Chain A
Amino acid sequence: MKTIVGLEIHVQLATATKLFCGCSTDYRDDGPNTHCCPVCLGLPGSLPRLNRKAVEYGLLVAKALGMRVLEESEFARKNYFYPDLPKAYQITQYDKPLAVEGIIEIEDDEGHEKIVRITRVHLEEDPGRLVHVAGASKYSLVDYNRSGIPLLEIVTEPDMRSPQEARRFLNKLRTILEYLRVFDGDREGSLRVDANISLEGSERVEVKNISSYKGVEKALTFEVTRQKNLRRRGQTVTRETRHFMEGRGITTSARGKEEEHDYRYFPEPDLRPLRVTDWVAEIDLPELPAARKNRFMAQYGISPNHARTLTGDPKLADFYERVAPVDPALAATWVADTLLGELNYRDMSIAAVPADRIAELLGLLRAETITDRAGVQVLREMLDACAAGRPSERPAAIVKRENLGRTTGDDFSAIVRTVIASNPQAVEDYHAGRKGALNFLVGQVMKETRGRADPRELGRIVSECIEKGEV
């Protein structure tokens, strides 16, 4: 059974002010209803005035996705009653969106490149937010700080074939938006998704308002199972809107009122039509993820996998480019594998890591002043300091303090001899040609030396000792 997925993504554009007024969009640390004015409160008599920057951001995305910008686009009113919507209509775009017909390339489930078509992008305003006070069931509160935040709605064709493809699509889209610097993914609720999903030959279901990347894959996976089960039992899938319950990982039918909406769209009489095709030529696109990945492979000679990982986040890519001069290959391994793993483990952002210190660490590794294992230990100490908000010590200082300097195998000859002497069975196994025996012996030595020696070098020394019978 073929699965068919299409997405509508609402992205908060990272403009300094709201879409139709001068209120600041940065209300994260402020109390409710502190970033409001007559316009975003929808007070009688107020009028919208379009934020030029939001249009430019929208066009930037349109250009990056190869879209056609309409000669004339138009704002429209979407009329519906809801307590978070102060004018009882949302100013959005309806039959004349900003731009149409774009593409995003992703990998399908077999690892092949595939194209997801973008139907349209359009600008609209975010409504306010309802706050349900714990214990007070009789009323809700409304916070209008979010009211009027510019949203870009991005609509895809039903081109995805699995929940995993949908996740990869969203990751790709997010990366592009971050490269364009029009979007702040760290902001709560900055990306919200409505997903349409159907099994071939069945009605489609819309899952509304999923507010995380992981949520999209989870909600869609749940829907695939639910819809397949219905079909298996001989029941039909009904066309409906469903809500995703993030906490329980399930979707539930929205039934009733929400599906009967007639939004009575009509052109917004308070705004003039937009004629911005001329602006497009003046927009300079930054280097996008695909181009940067190719450049990384060519310029630094690193593997496609490392290049993909490193360019998946513009901040990570910038970081890599700052430390790459030490040794591009070494830097790629350390940043893409070791550092990223340590950051994920600590739930830390790359932004908190001082690139100059990491470059120093890479320098020590490149000069073989310390072993890889000691390098990891130094890195962990540095990250722990960053996570605690302390300035990180210089790697060389940590090496000195912890006595992590690399020691040559000859300094350990006594330990090697003791280990060989006290493990006659392993020596016998070694002579019998069992590869594991050498690893075991090296491991024992490593344990005794606390990782200050290079395991490869130790291997050579241990086998020489046994061969020579120097015990």
Chain B
Amino acid sequence: MAGTLDFSPDDRCNAFITTCREAPFSDGALAGVAVAVKDNISTAGIRTTCASRILEGYVPPYDAHVIELLRKEGAAIVGKTNMDEFGMGSTTETSAFGPTRNPVDPTRVPGGSSGGSAAALAAGLVPMALGTDTGGSIRCPAAFCGVVGLKPTYGRVSRYGLIAYANSLEQIGPMARTVEDVSRLMSVIAKYDPRDSTMLDRPYDHRPSADIAGLRVGVPEEYFGEGVDPRVAETVRDAIGVLEELGASTVPVSIPGMRYALAAYYVICTGEASSNLARFDGVRYGPAVDIRKSWHDAYQEIRQANFGAEVRRRVMLGTFALSAGYAGRYYAKALGARQKIRQDFERALRDADVIAGPTMPTVAFRLGEKTDPLSLYLADILTAPANLAGIPAISVPCGRVDGLPVGFQLMGRQFEDERVVDAAYAYEQEVRA
């Protein structure tokens, strides 16, 4: 039943950077299913921009591992979705291709950085999409747009072909309108790839089960404290109540390292980003360098002109954090804090099987509402810890505040992605019924 899928979406939210009008597909588990792919995942023959001008004209000569797997299972790659430039943001407003709007309320942001993928799902343009999550970039837009998104355990999905923002934190993950579809997509993309040395051979092959009787749900005080909108906290407590009705028990847990989480996260991710993005110098990608200048002048000019403000800010922060004389004070300290947070989660996940809390402290912001970078960075407080700890985390819709979706986040032990999927599935099945 191989064929071609015609794809001409009514993309009024600007979810896509590139659409493939005729998307070929083959036989397999996802035969003919339209899958949207975040535009930082390499697709052979389809331009891949990271929503940045610096990659203008770049068409990858190879497929990312996850794309090879999707094609093998018959999926139709229908387009590349909008995002914050290089994944740096929580609103999809830093894209060089203009912001994506939230289909639930077009005056609101879809969240980010995988905002295009979440919006394409919420607008009904595709049933499945790939996102990437470095500090919450799958879960935040899933929460804001009212869809489901899973950040897999670090090392469960190959990063080969994912244009790196922060290598030690990020994973490619599935997004869909239902937990079941998220799980289906996960089954396709989580297969071993020796090209990613940080990967373990732990394929995901799972059908979600709603039976969660006896599940111990950890509730960390830090996820319901200062900075979290009380109405969001209340909505999520109700969702935890639903899990209890299904036979789960709750235990109070604590992640004391949380207070260092954002500082550690921003030092590590900007440090890695400053190195990853250095290759974009105008020699091989993007607008041509003026060869009448000396090469370092030309590099400087091209990077200044073609990276957006947020990318430049993070590259400079990261460069500073890794500089001689400062690396000990910032980078080394951040790695120490990361270790502490990892241990906190390990301890908490001895008393509990999953940890539950809100995905985002608030509902979706208005477009243009967040102008100072710091308040945006603070919005990652509940998502970034899972990346620092390398644990799986899913966001599933759990009601609305002011008519806007709220995300319910469930985190689990490393390589227990199945368990967080089951918990989310049980909740979803219960509230849907």
Interface, chain A (partner B; CB < 8 A): 38, 41-50, 77, 79, 81, 83, 86-89, 138-139, 142, 257, 262, 264-266, 269-272
Pick 11 A–B contacts, CB within 8 A, sort by A: A43-B62, A45-B41, A45-B60, A47-B160, A77-B275, A88-B275, A139-B291, A262-B323, A266-B272, A266-B322, A270-B167
Q: Is B283 an interface residue (CB 8 A)?
A: yes
| A47 close to B281 (CB less than 8 A) | no
Chain B residues whose C-beta falls within 8 Å of the C-beta of A271 in the assembled complex: 197-198
Chain A residues whose C-beta falls within 8 Å of the C-beta of B272 in the assembled complex: 266, 269
| B60 close to A43 (CB less than 8 A) | yes
Stretch at the interface among B27-35, B201-209, B292-300: B292-300
Q: In the complex, what residue of chain B is closest to A42 when comparing beta carbons?
A: B279
Which secondary structure dominates chain B's binding surface? loop
A87→B272 CA distance, assembly (Å): 13
Chain B residues whose C-beta falls within 8 Å of the C-beta of A270 in the assembled complex: 164, 167, 196-198
| B275 close to A266 (CB less than 8 A) | yes
Q: Is B331 an interface residue (CB 8 A)?
A: yes
| B324 close to A264 (CB less than 8 A) | yes
Partner pick for B292 among A42, A77, A138, CB 8 A cutoff? A138
| B48 close to A47 (CB less than 8 A) | no
A49→B195 CA distance, assembly (Å): 6
| A44 close to B278 (CB less than 8 A) | no
Given contacts A45-B60, A81-B296, 14 further A-B contacts (CB under 8 A): A43-B42, A43-B62, A44-B279, A45-B160, A50-B197, A81-B278, A81-B281, A87-B279, A88-B278, A138-B292, A265-B327, A269-B166, A269-B167, A272-B198
A272→B213 CA distance, assembly (Å): 38
A274→B306 CA distance, assembly (Å): 38
Chain B residues whose C-beta falls within 8 Å of the C-beta of A38 in the assembled complex: 60-62
A138→B294 CA distance, assembly (Å): 10
Output the least CB separation between B277 and chain A (Å). Answer: 9
Q: Most B CB atoms within 10 A — which of A83, A138, A272?
A: A83
Partner pick for A264 among B163, B195, B285, B322, CB 8 A cutoff? B322
| A269 close to B198 (CB less than 8 A) | yes
Per-residue interface assignment for chain B, residues 248 to 292, with 1 indicating a CB less than 8 Å from any chain A CB and 0 otherwise:
000000000000000000000001101100110101110000011
| A88 close to B281 (CB less than 8 A) | yes
Per-residue interface assignment for chain B, residues 289 to 325, with 1 indicating a CB less than 8 Å from any chain A CB and 0 otherwise:
0011001100100000000000000000001001110
Output the least CB separation between B199 and chain A (Å). Answer: 9
Q: In the complex, what residue of chain B is closest to A89 when comparing beta carbons?
A: B275
Interface, chain B (partner A; CB < 8 A): 41-42, 48, 50, 55, 58, 60-62, 64, 159-164, 166-168, 194-198, 271-272, 274-275, 278-279, 281, 283-285, 291-292, 295-296, 299, 319, 322-324, 327, 331
Q: In the complex, what residue of chain B is closest to A264 when comparing beta carbons?
A: B322
Chain B residues whose C-beta falls within 8 Å of the C-beta of A43 in the assembled complex: 42, 60-62
A89→B274 CA distance, assembly (Å): 11
Chain B residues whose C-beta falls within 8 Å of the C-beta of A257 in the assembled complex: 296
Chain A residues whose C-beta falls within 8 Å of the C-beta of B55 in the assembled complex: 44
| A272 close to B296 (CB less than 8 A) | no
Q: A43-B61, A44-B42, A81-B281 are in contact. Are A266 and B197 (CB under 8 A)?
A: no
Output the least CB separation between B44 and chain A (Å). Answer: 10
Chain A residues whose C-beta falls within 8 Å of the C-beta of B159 in the assembled complex: 45, 47
A41→B274 CA distance, assembly (Å): 19
A41→B279 CA distance, assembly (Å): 11
Output the least CB separation between A276 and chain B (Å). Answer: 14
Chain A residues whose C-beta falls within 8 Å of the C-beta of B322 in the assembled complex: 79, 264-266
Q: Most B CB atoms within 10 A — which of A42, A50, A270?
A: A270
Chain B residues whose C-beta falls within 8 Å of the C-beta of A46 in the assembled complex: 62, 160-161
Q: A88-B278, A266-B327, A270-B167 are in contact. Are A83 and B292 (CB under 8 A)?
A: no
Chain B residues whose C-beta falls within 8 Å of the C-beta of A45 in the assembled complex: 41-42, 60, 64, 159-164
A418→B192 CA distance, assembly (Å): 93
| B271 close to A266 (CB less than 8 A) | yes
Which secondary structure dominates chain A's binding surface? loop
Q: A47-B159, A264-B322 are in contact. Are A269 and B60 (CB under 8 A)?
A: no
A83→B331 CA distance, assembly (Å): 27
Output the least CB separation between B63 and chain A (Å). Answer: 10
A138→B274 CA distance, assembly (Å): 29
Chain B residues whose C-beta falls within 8 Å of the C-beta of A47 in the assembled complex: 159-160, 195-197
Output the least CB separation between B138 and chain A (Å). Answer: 18
A455→B58 CA distance, assembly (Å): 80
Chain A residues whose C-beta falls within 8 Å of the C-beta of B62 in the assembled complex: 38, 43, 46
A43→B299 CA distance, assembly (Å): 18
Q: A49-B197, A88-B279 are in contact. Are A81 and B299 (CB under 8 A)?
A: yes
Chain B residues whose C-beta falls within 8 Å of the C-beta of A83 in the assembled complex: 281, 283, 295
A46→B167 CA distance, assembly (Å): 11
Q: Most B CB atoms within 10 A — which of A38, A86, A139, A257?
A: A38
A402→B166 CA distance, assembly (Å): 77
Q: In the complex, what residue of chain B is closest to A48 when comparing beta carbons?
A: B197
Chain A residues whose C-beta falls within 8 Å of the C-beta of B275 in the assembled complex: 77, 79, 88-89, 264, 266
Output the least CB separation between B263 and chain A (Å). Answer: 17
A44→B58 CA distance, assembly (Å): 10
Chain B residues whose C-beta falls within 8 Å of the C-beta of A142 in the assembled complex: 283
| A86 close to B279 (CB less than 8 A) | yes
A88→B55 CA distance, assembly (Å): 16
Q: In the complex, what residue of chain A is closest to B292 when comparing beta carbons?
A: A138
A87→B277 CA distance, assembly (Å): 9
Chain A residues whose C-beta falls within 8 Å of the C-beta of B194 in the assembled complex: 49
Q: In the complex, what residue of chain B is closest to A44 when comparing beta carbons?
A: B163
Partner pick for B327 among A44, A77, A87, A264, CB 8 A cutoff? A264
Chain A residues whose C-beta falls within 8 Å of the C-beta of B283 in the assembled complex: 83, 142
Output the least CB separation between A186 and chain B (Å). Answer: 32
Q: In the complex, what residue of chain A is closest to B163 when comparing beta carbons?
A: A44
Output the least CB separation between A130 and chain B (Å). Answer: 10
A49→B158 CA distance, assembly (Å): 13
A89→B161 CA distance, assembly (Å): 18
Q: A262-B323, A266-B327 are in contact. Are A86 and B64 (CB under 8 A)?
A: no
A129→B283 CA distance, assembly (Å): 14
Chain B residues whose C-beta falls within 8 Å of the C-beta of A81 in the assembled complex: 278, 281, 296, 299
Chain A residues whose C-beta falls within 8 Å of the C-beta of B41 in the assembled complex: 45
Chain A residues whose C-beta falls within 8 Å of the C-beta of B195 in the assembled complex: 47, 49
Chain B residues whose C-beta falls within 8 Å of the C-beta of A86 in the assembled complex: 279, 284
A271→B168 CA distance, assembly (Å): 10
| B197 close to A87 (CB less than 8 A) | no
Q: Most A CB atoms within 10 A — which of B62, B194, B291?
A: B62
Chain A residues whose C-beta falls within 8 Å of the C-beta of B162 in the assembled complex: 45
Q: In the complex, what residue of chain A is closest to B170 when comparing beta carbons?
A: A269
Chain B residues whose C-beta falls within 8 Å of the C-beta of A79 in the assembled complex: 274-275, 278, 322
Q: Most B CB atoms within 10 A — which of A48, A50, A79, A81?
A: A81
Output the least CB separation between B96 and chain A (Å). Answer: 16
Q: In the complex, what residue of chain A is closest to B58 when comparing beta carbons?
A: A44
Q: In the complex, what residue of chain A is closest to B335 when comparing beta carbons?
A: A267
| A269 close to B279 (CB less than 8 A) | no
A278→B292 CA distance, assembly (Å): 54
Q: In the complex, what residue of chain B is closest to A78 when comparing beta carbons?
A: B275
Q: In the complex, what residue of chain A is closest to B325 when comparing beta carbons?
A: A262
Output the least CB separation between A256 and chain B (Å). Answer: 11
Chain A residues whose C-beta falls within 8 Å of the C-beta of B167 in the assembled complex: 269-270
A87→B280 CA distance, assembly (Å): 8
Q: In the complex, what residue of chain B is closest to A82 when comparing beta carbons?
A: B295
- In the A-B complex, the 10 residue pairs with the smallest Cβ-Cβ separation, listed nearest first, are A88-B278, A269-B168, A269-B167, A264-B322, A44-B163, A45-B161, A45-B42, A88-B279, A262-B324, A45-B163
Q: In the complex, what residue of chain A is closest to B332 when comparing beta carbons?
A: A266
Chain B residues whose C-beta falls within 8 Å of the C-beta of A41 in the assembled complex: 284
| A264 close to B319 (CB less than 8 A) | yes
